[in-house]
Amino acid sequence: MKKEEFRMKKEIKVKYSKIGNMGDLLNELVIEDVLGFKVIHSDIWKSETTAIGSYLRFFFHENTNLTTKSKIMLKKLYGQFQPPLQIWSTGFITYSDKELIPIRKEINVASVRGELTRKRLEKILNKELNVPTGDGGLLASHLLKGPIEKKYSIGIIPHFREKDEKRFLELKEAYNNSVVIDLTDDPLNVVKTISQCEVIISSALHGLIVADSFGIPNKRLIYTNNLLGDGYKFDDYYSGFNIKVDSFDLNNPGNPTINEIIDGYKVTETQVEAKKGALYKSFTKYL
């Protein structure tokens, strides 16, 4: 065994949801296997950086008609003894016009998920943010080594809160050589299966993002109201590409054809590769 294999990775405290869902567990895979840090799952008070997911809401409080003096005191109370926070790759989860105030004394923005989040943070922090946009899930393609063999014509990905809905099994029957991908399976296997598909349809944001990472045409599905948020995270992600995408509502009759998915795909390989480089570089900016 080589000497460098014994070296300990630098530990970093990260706020994310440690649940059995590929989108959340990408934090561990990407930060450890791609970026080279040891992830320590942390709460909002001890975390050093945000990462993949809609976690910014945890680091800001709504202004509830407090006086200016009270707001200043509240910020000092919450942030005085907390370490600096780096914001990387993260976004908000809902649309809101409520005033937000940070709970950390020092917040440094390295990158954000999309333009919607960047503009909201500019308003909250009262400063211009010239930072890259992109979701850290775009680095998922770096998790796999060697050539990728395509096995499926289409991959169908229900959000993990919709995995038991029969409509997705009906989709599988509607397409030849299809596979339903369970986001609660081993996350690396999920990434690998996505990479083996010619096209992807998904009601989960990170099913779409991982597909983008591999340059796989994809389309968003809408079905139930089980997902958290109001669609902001999807709009935020695509705002970073300066595009709006059409989704397919599974409550309507019919299904999108593979040609429709390919023809309607707007994310380019050039954009994705640029974001991968910017995300990789920006991760250590404030660490």
Name all domains of the chain by residue range, CATH numbers in brackets.
Answer: 3-137+277-282 (no CATH), 140-274 (3.40.50)
What is the pLDDT at residue 62?
78
pLDDT given for residue 82 in this prediction: 79
pTM: 0.92
pLDDT at 264: 96
Mean pLDDT of all residues in 8-23: 91
**208-245 exposure pattern, b = at least 16 Cβ within 10 A, e = fewer:** bbbbbbbebbbbbbebeeebeeeebbbbbbbbbbeeeb
Please check the confidence at residue 162 and state whether its pLDDT lies above 90.
yes
Alpha carbon 131 to its chain's center: 17
Tell me if 8 sits within 8 A of 40, measured CB to CB: no
Q: What is the mean pLDDT of residues 6-11?
A: 72
Assign residue 142 a region (left: φ > 0; alpha: ψ between -120 and 50; beta: otherwise): alpha
Per-residue pLDDT of 230-250, as tens digits, reads: 999 999 999 999 999 999 999
Using an 8 Å Cβ cutoff, are 94 and 230 in contact? yes
Residue 102's pLDDT is what?
87
Q: Decide: helix, strand or coil at residue 185.
A: coil
Give the model's pLDDT for residue 148.
Answer: 95
Q: Indicate the burial class of 11 (C-beta count within 10 angstroms; 0-12, 13-18, 19 or more).
A: exposed
* Distance of alpha carbon 183 from alpha carbon 32, whole angstroms: 20
pLDDT band for 1, please (50, 70, 90 cuts): very low
Q: Could you tell me the two tokens for 33?
A: 């296997």
**How confident is residue 69, by pLDDT bands cut at 50, 70 and 90?**
low
Q: What is the pLDDT of the chain when averaged over all its residues?
A: 92
pLDDT at residue number 104: 86
pLDDT above 90: residue 173: yes
Euclidean distance between CA atoms 126 and 110, whole angstroms:
16
The pLDDT confidence band at residue 70, using thresholds 50, 70 and 90, is low
Span 26-51, mean pLDDT?
95
Per-residue model confidence (pLDDT) at position 242: 98
**Tens digits of residue pLDDT in 88-118:** 999 999 999 888 888 888 999 999 999 999 9
Per-residue confidence (pLDDT) for residue 80, from 0 to 100: 62
Cβ atoms within 10 Å of 15's Cβ, excluding its own = 23
User: And the tokens for 152?
Assistant: 């499926």
Amino acid at 264: G
Q: What is the mean pLDDT of residues 198-213?
A: 98
The Cα 264–Cα 218 span in angstroms is: 9
